[in-house]
A and B are shown apart, each in its own frame.
Chain A
Amino acid sequence: MEKSIEVHNLTVSYHSKPVLWDVDFSLPMGKIIGIVGPNGSGKTTMLKTIMGLMKPDSGYTEIFGQPLDKVRSRVSYVPQRESVDWDFPADVMDVVLMGRYRKNNLFRRISKDDKRIATEALEKVNLLEFAHRQISQLSGGQQQRVFIARSLAQQADIYLMDEPFVGVDAATEDAILQLLQEMKNQGKTVVIVHHDLQTANEYFDHIVLLNTRLVAAGPKNEVFTKDLLQEAYGGRLTVLSKLGDLISTEEFPLREPEFKENKPDKE
């Protein structure tokens, strides 16, 4: 089976406090995949590291068997809705068009093609009539759909979404779920960070259970067992978190990043 994302012995820390310890898994292609875990379990950090927004202390990640920089145009990222200021002077179309920005068109004007693609993306999330609405006047669910439209406009093969179901209405939830199925049918891979256990089982085909370290990864019927869920959600891992505090206050180096350099060359 071909792999969409591979994560190799990844350790990442935030303000020199480790939030992911030695996490190692790989994800299949063409599936809807959930990264699931309680609050503060390192889910967002996982996504940000895959997207190159955070530097790992050790380990590395690959997408389609290659480093991110080589496949960037095939990867799309949907940040958490709350991570931006929605009072920014822009309308819905402006934001969706950002999905068409590229390194090689940074200094060029937005093209007709870009506009067409953005319009199609808006249509897919049922927001076409809101194209010229100021973004601060949208509901939470509509803002989430704007972000998803922006990501669709990237026309990627794999989509990484950070908590897209948080604070959205039922209509948006349905719209997103339907969209995910369509994307899957077109052979796209979708990876979603999600904290809610109740819905995780129905949304995803494949699940990564995370709680600072990897609890389990695999098809959902293998991962969604009582024991594993208890392991992921059952209280803090005392030793691990104590050690984490120690490392952050005493300035220990976590591990040398040489691990990445030593990685065998695939070409």
Chain B
Amino acid sequence: MDPVFLKVLVGTTLLAASSSVVGAFSYLKGQSLIGDAIAHALLPGVVLAFILGGIRNSSLLIFGALISGLLAHYGIGYIENKTKLKNDTAVSLVLSTFFGFGIMLMSYIQRTGIGQQAGLERFLLGKAAAITMQDIYIFTVLALLLIIGVGLFYKGFQLMTFNEDFAQAIGLPMPLIRCAFTVLTVLAITIGIQTVGVVLMAALLITPSATARVWTNSLPSMLVLTASFAGVAAVLGTYISSALSKMPTGPWVVLVMAFFGFSSLLFAPKRGWFSKQKQANANQRKTIRENVLKLLFQQEEHRGLPIVLSVDEIQRKRVIRLDRLTSALKELKKRLLIIDYGGCYGLTELGRSEGRRVVRLHRLWELYLTERLGMAADHIHPQAETMEHVITPEIEELLVKELGNPEVDPHKSPIPYEED
């Protein structure tokens, strides 16, 4: 494999995976934009490092950025504490001041000619292609440092993001934990901008964690997933950018991450859009099935003997779209809740019990609304129409207990209990 390509691949992957893990805690703290602000604020430190050490001195560059970033971070905290300005104002104030100062320095060195090759572009958009072997060593050390730091401070960071007051109350050394978090964040951003640049840094810090959060409810697995998403995105981004000529790596890495992020939002189990949609559809079908059983049960109750109804008769009693009714009837047959007597449908014993349950919940809820919430008897029907499909057996038990085993609902209809 091409050694230049390999260098870029290894460097980018290391950077993306390690800095995104630190970003996960910023994300959980609800400080997603801090990364963006600090990334911009690194500029003056980087430029000063250029002036002092020249373009090829990676460690000096990182050191300069680190100092600049720490100053910005503490500046934001200081402004927030000492004035009445809100966090977002303090963040933008510091961001613009530092960035402005950096640009000023930058134009100064460009005029003198030292900074021609370095250029603003590398800082703004990152330049993965310029990664040297020496960079790789430094990145490896930094990446390890980040991972070890997060591992070491795991308990502290976890409690700081979840419940900082409690962490302080039990006597954890909060200044140390906060300081460690700040240093790791600034370090993560400093090494991250080498690949994707300032403009895309927020994406590197936040997108992988937001993506991982959708897939898991446990912090350790979220951190592992975050690093994996970022790493895989870095590998893919590097491949794509090298396959297409004159394409920068950073933006491609970020685009691949964004792709992961958006597809997760759509497809993830439970939290994803599709699975929520699926759940809603399943509930709607259940509602229709239960309404059919309820209708049949009420007809039997009314006449006092088992009956059968055709599709037309059902639709005359209750408005249900024909295609939905047909599939509901099919499903009910499959579950042995109704029997098909050649186009007319009647309840089985199982179906009767289910229909009775729905009617019972409806009437119990109506009684609850009038007795406990003092609603008028002519206003309660629509509410009960929904709730009869939602109430679980446990809630039913509570309702019956709280209402004292009632016999009739507010309209004097009997509440049908199971007979045994």
Q: A252 contacts which chain B residues (CB < 8 A)? A: none
Given known contacts A15-B84, A53-B165, A98-B163, A90 and B172 CB-to-CB distance under 8 angstroms = no
Q: B343 contacts which chain A residues (CB < 8 A)? A: none
Residue of A nearest to B176 (CB): A106
How many of chain A's residues touch chain B, expressed as a range? Answer: 20 to 34
Question: Is the pair A88, B161 in contact by a Cβ cutoff of 8 Å?
Answer: yes
Q: A101-B172, A106-B153 are in contact. List 20 more A-B contacts (CB 8 A).
A: A52-B169, A53-B165, A75-B169, A77-B169, A77-B170, A83-B163, A85-B30, A88-B28, A88-B162, A89-B213, A90-B162, A95-B162, A98-B158, A98-B166, A101-B167, A103-B172, A103-B173, A106-B173, A107-B152, A154-B170
Question: Is the pair B172, A89 in contact by a Cβ cutoff of 8 Å?
Answer: no
Stretch at the interface among B111-119, B131-139, B215-223, B290-298: B215-223
Q: A239 contacts which chain B residues (CB < 8 A)? A: none
Q: A48 contacts which chain B residues (CB < 8 A)? A: 165
Given known contacts A103-B171, A103-B173, A90 and B165 CB-to-CB distance under 8 angstroms = no
Contact with A along B150-181 (1 / 0, CB 8 A): 00110110110111011111111100000000
| Bound Cα distance A15, B156 (Å) | 28
For the complex formed, measure the closest distance between the CB of B302 and the CB atoms of chain A, giving whole angstroms.
38
Q: A85 contacts which chain B residues (CB < 8 A)? A: 30, 162
For the complex formed, measure the closest distance between the CB of B62 and the CB atoms of chain A, giving whole angstroms.
26
Q: Which residue among B28, B153, B170, B216 has the maximum number of chain A CB atoms within 10 Å of its CB? A: B170
| Bound Cα distance A72, B166 (Å) | 12
- Say if the beta carbon of A66 comes within 8 Å of chain B: no
Q: B84 contacts which chain A residues (CB < 8 A)? A: 15
Question: Is the pair A91, B162 in contact by a Cβ cutoff of 8 Å?
Answer: no
Q: A95 contacts which chain B residues (CB < 8 A)? A: 162
Q: Which residue among A53, A95, A102, A106 has the maximum number of chain B CB atoms within 10 Å of its CB? A: A106
Residue of A nearest to B217 (CB): A134
| Bound Cα distance A194, B163 (Å) | 21
Q: A15 contacts which chain B residues (CB < 8 A)? A: 84
- Say if the beta carbon of A84 comes within 8 Å of chain B: yes
Contact with B along A100-125 (1 / 0, CB 8 A): 01110011000000000000000000
Which residues of A are at the interface with B, using a C-beta cutoff of 8 A? 15, 48, 51-53, 69, 72-73, 75, 77, 79, 83-85, 88-91, 94-95, 98-99, 101-103, 106-107, 134, 136, 150, 154
For the complex formed, measure the closest distance between the CB of A162 and the CB atoms of chain B, giving whole angstroms.
10
Residue of A nearest to B162 (CB): A88
For the complex formed, measure the closest distance between the CB of B398 and the CB atoms of chain A, giving whole angstroms.
10
For the complex formed, measure the closest distance between the CB of A83 and the CB atoms of chain B, giving whole angstroms.
7
Question: Is the pair B216, A89 in contact by a Cβ cutoff of 8 Å?
Answer: yes
| Bound Cα distance A101, B163 (Å) | 13
For the complex formed, measure the closest distance between the CB of B325 and the CB atoms of chain A, giving whole angstroms.
34
Question: Is the pair A90, B168 in contact by a Cβ cutoff of 8 Å?
Answer: no
Give the residue of B155, B165, B217 whose beta carbon is less than 8 angstroms from that of A91.
B217
Given known contacts A52-B169, A106-B156, A106-B172, A90 and B219 CB-to-CB distance under 8 angstroms = yes
Question: Is the pair A79, B168 in contact by a Cβ cutoff of 8 Å?
Answer: no
For the complex formed, measure the closest distance between the CB of A69 and the CB atoms of chain B, giving whole angstroms.
7
List 8 A–B pairs whose Cβ atoms lie within 8 Å, in order of A's numbering.
Answer: A48-B165, A52-B169, A84-B163, A85-B162, A90-B158, A94-B219, A102-B170, A150-B166
Residue of A nearest to B28 (CB): A88
Q: A79 contacts which chain B residues (CB < 8 A)? A: 163, 165-166, 169
| Bound Cα distance A204, B93 (Å) | 50
Question: Is the pair B213, A53 in contact by a Cβ cutoff of 8 Å?
Answer: no
